[in-house]
Amino acid sequence: MAIPSMPHIDGLYETHLTVANLDRSITFYRDVVGLEFAQRFDERRIAFFWIGNKKTGMLGLWETGSGPLRMRLHLAFRMSVEGVLASAGSLRASGTVPLGFFGKPADEPDVVGWVPAVSQYFSDPDGHSIEFIAVLDDEPDADFGVGPYSKWRDR
């Protein structure tokens, strides 16, 4: 008997992060990242945000308390190239340090040449790795590796 093929997946709809302080994280994801607040459930210490709109994506934040064992995760938000390029200034203005691909403070986004995609990294208040990413229309260049956007542009 043939196994039917899986229908096409259009994208990732939701993801969830654990946070130590729900109020602090709501402020960060609303005011720094710019997501639209959707709903909060105080009795369960959960909050949700729309990513794009309620048909395109959702982020859930789950407060775990102050235990010493915390999981650090990575999450990437898709945006325009112009948005990624402007994000470092917006992050700095909010008191958030823009980071490069390798986790060091950076003045501009990096490009991952094999994709190619331009990415701006930063950390949320719980240390989760957050990324703004845009796939570039350029041809891939695996030999480029990973480097600043200005270096990619000047190749």
- What b-and-e string marks burial along 46-74, b requiring 16 or more CB atoms within 10 Å of the CB? bbbbbbeeeeebbbbbebbeeeeeeeeee
Tell me 99's DSSP state.
B
How does pLDDT run across 31-48, given as a tens digit for each residue? 999 999 999 999 889 999
Task: Report, as an integer, the average pLDDT of 74-89.
Answer: 93
Instruction: Please state the domain extents for the chain.
Output: 12-65, 73-155
pLDDT over threshold 70, residue 87: yes
pLDDT category at 96 given cuts 50, 70, 90 is: very high
Predicted confidence (pLDDT) per residue in 117-131, tens digit = 999 999 999 999 999
Checking if the pLDDT of 145 tops 70, the result is yes
Distance from C-alpha of 111 to C-alpha of 120, rounded to nearest angstrom: 9
The answer to whether the predicted template modeling score (pTM) of the entire model surpasses 0.75 is yes
Q: Out of 3.40.50.1100, 3.40.50.720, 3.10.180.10, 3.30.70.2190, which CATH number does the structure's domain 73-155 have? A: 3.10.180.10
How confident is the prediction for the chain on average, in pLDDT?
A: 91
**Chain centroid offset of residue 4 CA:** 34
- C-alpha to C-alpha distance for 87 and 85, rounded to whole angstroms: 6
Mean per-residue pLDDT for 82-111? 95
Q: Would you state the pLDDT for residue 53?
A: 81
- Residue 66 pLDDT greater than 60, yes or no: no
For residue 76, the surrounding DSSP H or E stretch is: strand 74-78
Domain 12-65 has CATH 3.10.180.10: yes
- In this predicted structure, which of 4-18, 72-86, 109-123, 124-138 has the lowest mean pLDDT? 4-18
Number of continuous H segments (helices) and E segments (strands) in the chain: 3, 9
The reply to whether 73-155 shares the fold of 12-65 is: yes
